[in-house]
Structure 1
Amino acid sequence: MGEFNYLPIINSILYSFLGIAILVLCYWIIERLTPEKTWHEISKNNNMALAIIFGAFIIGISIIISAAIHG
């Protein structure tokens, strides 16, 4: 029986947290650059157009982060 290598699991967890941290940082930057509070507009005022834009933003940034991490 061979030994189990935990390194890929640890790397996956670390890269996942790194990706989430970068995504939150990007959201925070966009939140500061926009004139309105976007989360308030989406949740309280039910602004569907803004929700779609931010959904696309999150998917786009996630794809970029994934490509940067995986090379």
Structure 2
Amino acid sequence: MSEIINTLVYTGIGLGVFIVALIIMEIGTKFSITKKIAHEGNIALAIVIASIIVSLGMIISSAIR
């Protein structure tokens, strides 16, 4: 039971850090990332953001271990 609780706690911490990082990234740009991708269909920006998301996930995963 302790392992399940630990997993849930680390999942919550990881998701929290991930969401904060995405919010900081959205605030740090001069334009709205969501608007550029969803409304204007900027595929290049979507690929860059996807690579940032993957690398953030790898960093957070390594930090938690």
Shared fold (TM-score, shorter chain, > 0.5)? yes
* 4+ long deviations beyond 2 Å: none
The answer on 1:58 being equivalent to 2:53 is: yes
Alignment of 1:19-58 (within 5 A): 19-58=14-53
Number of aligned residues: 65
The answer on 1:13 being equivalent to 2:8 is: yes
Aligned to 2:62: 67
Taking the aligned partners of 1:17 and 1:48, their CA distance within structure 2 comes to 30
Structure with more helix by fraction: 2
Unaligned runs of 5+ in 1: 1-5
